[in-house]
Amino acid sequence: MVGGLVWRLVPMGLPGFFLNYGGGVLWGAMVLLIVGAATDDMRWWLAPVVAASIALAAELFRLYHAPTLDAFRATLAGALLLGRIFNPWNIVAYWLGVALALPLHLAIRRMR
């Protein structure tokens, strides 16, 4: 989480593409590692499927609009927690993060 906040809030001079989607890659990796830690007894392939599904649901949730929800999304906390707009490329970034974190997830499982 700290890495994602630093990625979004600290000016590092990154190109726009990496700034926009790098946080999504980190978020997808974080979701996989959290799901993997919470569900250690699952089959190895189920944690990435659950993490990818959570990522998809989180992005699709941005399509739902209600006045109070949109007011919260307009704040910094709302933008960081919920995001402001739907972007299908974010799904790709999340799933890339899940895929990149999969070897780490499997290595952690083998150590247990």
At 79 the pLDDT is 83
| Confidence band for 74, pLDDT divided at 50, 70 and 90 | very high
Distances in Å between the alpha carbon of 59 and those of 73, 77, 89, 105, 107? 13, 16, 10, 23, 28
- State how far the Cα of 99 lies from the Cα of 48, in Å rounded to an integer: 8
pLDDT score of 16: 67
Given a cut of 90, is residue 100 above it in pLDDT? yes
Q: What is the average pLDDT across 51-72? A: 94
The answer to pTM > 0.85 is no
Measured distance between the N- and C-terminal CA atoms of the chain, rounded to whole angstroms: 24
